[in-house]
A and B are shown apart, each in its own frame.
Chain A
Amino acid sequence: MSDEPNKGLQSPLRRKLLMGAAALPLISMLPRPSFGAGPATATVNTTGLAVTDTEVTVGILHSATGTMAISETGSIQAEKLAIEQINAAGGVLGRKIKFIQEDGASDWPTFAEKAKKLLVNDKVAAIMGCWTSASRKAVLPVMEQYNGMLYYPTFYEGLEQSKNVIYTGQEATQQILAGLNWIAKEKGAKSFFFIGSDYIWPRTSNKIARKHVENVLKGKVVGEEYYALGSTQFNSVINKIKLTKPDVIFTDVVGGSNVAFYKQLKAAGVDLSKQALLTISVTEDEIDGIGGENIAGAYACMKYFQSLDNANNKAFVADFKKMWGEKTVIGDVTQAAYLGPWLWKLTVEKAGSFDVDKIAAASPGVEFKGAPEGYVRIHENHHLWSKTRVGKAKLDGQFELIFETADLVEPDPFPKGYQ
């Protein structure tokens, strides 16, 4: 990571240098700092991507409008921060990163349309983007057809692996199993109640969790309930929880529904300091809406918390707040989004090329030591090796780290015995 102060978003674009091909050998002998000092474009870009001698263009594709904007804004901010920092440190192969931002508008076909536009019209070298599984599923065929490279930040359900995608968030087994093991050991938990939003990620996550609880932990699942996205009525399930008295409530409710769920839970007298609750869907971003007082005491299981105490993270949090304001919070996905541009840069430099085929082949084994979550490495299956952590929600909306796995957890998108 760069130690240079970042220049803020509005820093004027450097004037694009016009260079004849004849000047290339001369320029490549100049010292580093000025852009345009990298290897010749013809050698690092054989497939007609938007790479010039001084610049390389990438796409940012998230929802800036619509219902998902509240979640995806953090990812956009993190990606812009990473691009700023990379440029301040000399860019990628001597080229400054320029980005084109497109709005997926929380609408999955729009995501597909914009992804296609970025690849076909703008010839971007990579796309940082998508958030929901639905948007990724819509974009995936486009990435594969036009051979693009997508860096996808969200923790997700797995069951997917593509040459054209690097998954910088955790897949379901990585995120869930360590958390369940911890709570079973720490709280002696035997009975679990599952509550989720009704779509593919919670259903798959709960399927994996159920198999683990029943087959490995030898516990039992006393209830499993799903609510439509955006649902705000949780009273009936809260009554069932009070009747069945599970050792652990395990939730993957997403988005705005969380606000209603935790408020109603509190109103119904369920005290989270006595009733264990493990969530895999509430990050610092969601707590911003829920309110720390409504969720304090709950456990969350993911790979990153803003409160992580290491030098990388302290610098990251400080830079993020400097660029986007003191009040911003950083959740798990925001950090994973920040990894995208960095991993891409490192892979391009390892491959010595912007070509998508070469990047896809060079990705396995790429390691990023400056990651705020600590050290990460890309697996052969294009997911990341990462640690899994459990945090306890505090009144101020931050998590207190109480457990982390000793080693990196291997990503396993097609888990045997969990399908």
Chain B
Amino acid sequence: MIITSRFFNRSELIGFIALAAVLFVILPLSLDVFRLNLVAKYLTYAFVAIGLVLCWGYGGILSLGQGVFFGLGGYCMAMFLKLEASSVENTKIQSTPGIPDFMDWNQITSLPLFWQPFHSLTFTIAAIILVPGLFALIIGTAMFKRRVGGTYFAIITQAVAAILTILIVGQQGYTGGINGMTDLRTLRGWDIRPDHAKIILYFFEVFLLFVCIGIAQFIRLTKLGRILVAMREQEDRVRFSGYSVANFKIFAFCMAAIFAAIGGAMFALNVGFMSPSFVGIVPSIEMVIYTAVGGRMSIFGAVWGSLLVNFAKTSLSESFPQLWLFGLGALFIAVVLAFPNGLSGIWADYVQPRIDRLLASRKSKAGAWADNSVADGAPAE
């Protein structure tokens, strides 16, 4: 791999420009608000997928419990929105007005203590980052310091996902149970449901997504990124070289958790809804699938993977209500069998060499400004 001083090498730059053009210009111009809102929903999973590229693709830590962090972020946001939607005048018909409707249905008569701080937006935003971050820190410390890794770690993250789902479903008076938190309406008095709000939320989300892409890219390019890759390939050698493998793993895992939580919070805002069906084992595995389809080594690939798989999910289920799951399953099998490196692998193996050849032939014709930029166009990794 060639180390460049630039933030993006040329193929990444093409990827960056293509993604920015599609998300900022092409999709908003070509889709109606309903479809654009669906894209916003798909993109919330892209946050998770970027986190997985860092922690699984680079760090080699396969987490099958990212739904936990997606859910924690989403629930923090939803709690704030739900409190705002449950003002006294909105909930007049309840036995106890002013508390969320599901609490009233469960005979809870006052707002529980841990709900109180979620009246504050500042606290909520901090909680969206810190709650999942700290939770990941605890799990990570407990696991990696004891050198639990690989399959065992994946299984434990699954168990955590299952436990959190059971907790949320069981404590329905405090969490809304299996129904989740529905009917979220306003953010500080600003209605999040009408079309113009959906458009603003979409652009805000895409902006956040690019911030996260930037952070992930930055981590990748620093020495830290190199150590992550080294750790994935030869964990013992890194350890013998004097690095604390556990700390690096904890860091990657926490970053993935925080990205997932931001995605979850954006989900609650865009969809107006949060439920335990995004926390459990199945959605967690789906999130890994998005990353795998996109290519687990590629940050941009992860975004494309999330978009395409979810788009396929929606369109297949609209066209074939009874058979679509089989179609989706076949798609996964085909991608994994034929293209183990996912979409970004297809790009690197088939598209990129042609572009390079095209550019090289044009350059040799022109003969001028010959420098070494062909070399640095080689696929990253």
B172 touches A198 (CB 8 A): yes
Q: Which residues of A contact B179 (CB under 8 A)?
A: 108, 133-134, 137-138, 199-200
A203 at the interface (CB under 8 A from B): yes
Report whether B34 and A121 are in contact in the complex, using a CB–CB cutoff of 8 Å: yes
Interface residues of A in 62-118 (CB under 8 A from B): 64-65, 101-103, 105, 107-110, 112-114, 116-117
Assuming the contacts A108-B180, A108-B275, A141-B182, asked whether A228 and B169 have C-beta atoms less than 8 A apart, the reply is yes
Q: Is the CB of A103 within 8 A of B275?
A: no
Q: How many residues of A contact B (CB 8 A)?
A: 36
A176 to B292, CA, bound (A): 50
Say whether B193 contacts A145, CB under 8 Å: yes
- With A109-B271, A145-B193 known as contacts, the answer to whether A200 contacts B322 (CB < 8 A) is no
The yes or no answer to B38 lying at the interface (CB within 8 A) is yes
Q: Contacts of A200 on B, CB cut-off 8 Å? A: 102, 105-106, 172, 177-179
A273 within 8 A of B: no
Mark contacts of B306-342 with chain A using CB atoms, 8 A cut-off: 1 yes-contact digit, 0 otherwise: 0000000010011001101100000000000000000
Residues of A within 8 A of B105 (CB): 157, 159, 200, 203-204
A-B contact count (CB 8 A): 92
B111 within 8 A of A: no
Taking CB atoms, residues of chain B closer than 8 Å to A103 are: 317, 321-322, 324
Is the CB of A120 closer than 8 A to any CB of chain B? Answer: yes
Minimum CB–CB distance for B25 against chain A, Å: 23
Interface string of B10-40 (1 = CB under 8 A from A): 0000000000000000000000101000100
Across-interface contacts of A137 in B (CB, < 8 A): 179, 182-183
A263 within 8 A of B: no
User: Closest approach, in angstroms, between the C-beta of A225 and any C-beta of chain B?
Assistant: 13
Q: A204-B105, A229-B178 are known contacts. Are A113 and B38 too (CB-CB below 8 A)?
A: yes
Q: Is the CB of B180 within 8 A of A207?
A: no
A63 to chain B, nearest CB (A): 10
> Which chain B residues border A110 with CB–CB below 8 Å?
317
B170: A residues at CB distance < 8 A: 198, 228
B277 at the interface (CB under 8 A from A): yes
- Taking A113-B38, A137-B179, A207-B107 as contacts, is the C-beta distance between A229 and B169 under 8 angstroms? yes
Chain B CB within 8 A of A234 CB: no
Is B59 interfacial (CB 8 A cutoff)? no
Of listed B169, B178, B185, B324, residue having the most chain A CB within 10 A: B178
Write the A187-215 contact mask toward B (1 if CB under 8 angstroms, else 0).
Answer: 00000000000111001100100000000
In the complex, residue of chain A having the shortest beta-carbon distance to the beta carbon of B38: A113
* A203, B106: Cβ atoms closer than 8 Å: yes
Count B-side interface residues using an 8 Å CB cutoff. 35
Minimum Cβ distance to chain B for residue A62 (Å): 9
Cα A110 to Cα B318 with chains together (Å): 11
Whether A101 pairs with B183 at a CB distance below 8 angstroms is no
Q: Flag if B182 contacts A138 (CB, 8 Å).
A: yes
A419 interface hit (Cβ, 8 Å): yes
Contact B193 A64 (CB under 8 A): no
Q: How far is the CA of A126 from the CA of B148 in the complex (A)?
A: 55
Q: Residue of B at shortest CB range from A73? A: B322
Interchain CA distance A28-B95 in the complex, whole Å: 53
B93 contacts partner chain A, Cβ-Cβ < 8 Å: yes
Q: Which of B32, B277, B324 meets A108, CB within 8 Å?
A: B277
Determine which of B93, B169, B318, B325 lies in contact with A65 in the assembled complex, contact meaning CB atoms within 8 Å.
B325
Q: Which residues of B contact A141 (CB under 8 A)?
A: 182-183, 185, 193, 272
B166 interface residue, CB < 8 Å from A? Answer: yes
- List chain A residues, Cβ under 8 A from B193: 141, 145
Q: A109-B277, A198-B170, A200-B105 are in contact. Are A140 and B182 (CB under 8 A)?
A: yes
List residues 74-105 of chain B with CB under 8 A from any CB of chain A: 93, 95, 102, 105
Decide if B69 is an interface residue (CB 8 Å cutoff).
Answer: no
Given known pairs A134-B275, A200-B105, the reply for A101 and B169 (CB within 8 Å) is no
A107 touches B277 (CB 8 A): yes
Q: How far is the CA of A71 from the CA of B175 in the complex (A)?
A: 26
Which single member of B34, B107, B321, B324 contacts A116 (CB below 8 Å)? B34
| A368 in contact (CB, < 8 A) | no
Query: Quick one: CB contact mask for B176-192 with A, threshold 8 Å, 1 for yes?
Result: 01111011010000000
Contacts of B324 in A (CB 8 A): 65, 103
Contact partners of B321 in chain A: CB under 8 A: 64-65, 101-103
Q: How far is the CA of A129 from the CA of B138 in the complex (A)?
A: 44
B327 CB to nearest chain A CB (Å): 11
* B273 interfacial contact with A, CB 8 Å: yes
Name the A residues within 8 Å of B182 (CB-CB): 137-138, 140-141
Query: A245 CA to B178 CA in the complex, in Å?
Result: 32
CB < 8 Å: which of B178, B272, B314, B318 contacts A199? B178
B residues within 8 A CB of A157?
A: 105
Distance of A64 Cα from B326 Cα, bound (Å): 13
In the bound assembly, the distance between CA atoms of A234 and B19 in angstroms comes to: 53
* Inter-chain contact A65/B322, CB cutoff 8 Å: yes
Complex: chain B residue closest to A419, CB-CB: B95
A108 proximity list for chain B (CB < 8 A)? 179-180, 273, 275, 277
* A161 to B273 Cα, complex, angstroms: 20
- Least CB separation from B271: chain A residue: A109
A residues near B272, Cβ cutoff 8 Å: 141
| Interface flags, B285-319, vs A, CB<8A=1, else 0 | 00000000000000000000000000000100110
State A265–B31 Cα separation when bound (angstroms): 56
Q: Is A414 an interface residue (CB 8 A)?
A: yes
Decide: B318 and A109 in contact? CB cutoff 8 A.
Answer: no
For the complex formed, measure the closest distance between the CB of B186 and the CB atoms of chain A, giving whole angstroms.
Answer: 12
**What residues of chain A lie closer than 8 Å to B41, measured between beta carbons?**
113
CB pair A117–B275 under 8 Å, yes or no, is no
Chain B 262-288 interface residues, beta-carbon cutoff 8 Å to A: 271-273, 275, 277-278
Q: Provide 13 A-B residue pairs closer than 8 Å at the C-beta atoms, listed in order of the A residue.
A: A65-B325, A102-B318, A103-B324, A109-B273, A113-B314, A114-B318, A134-B180, A138-B273, A138-B275, A141-B185, A198-B172, A203-B172, A228-B169
Q: Interface of A with B (CB < 8 Å)?
A: 64-65, 101-103, 105, 107-110, 112-114, 116-117, 120-121, 133-134, 137-138, 140-141, 145, 157, 159, 198-200, 203-204, 207, 228-229, 414, 419
The 5 A-B residue pairs with the shortest CB-CB distance, nearest first, are A103-B321, A134-B179, A141-B183, A120-B34, A64-B322
Having A65-B322, A141-B183, one finds 20 other A-B pairs with CB under 8 Å, namely A65-B325, A102-B317, A103-B317, A103-B324, A108-B180, A112-B271, A113-B41, A113-B314, A120-B34, A133-B179, A137-B179, A140-B182, A140-B183, A157-B105, A199-B177, A207-B107, A228-B169, A229-B178, A414-B93, A419-B95
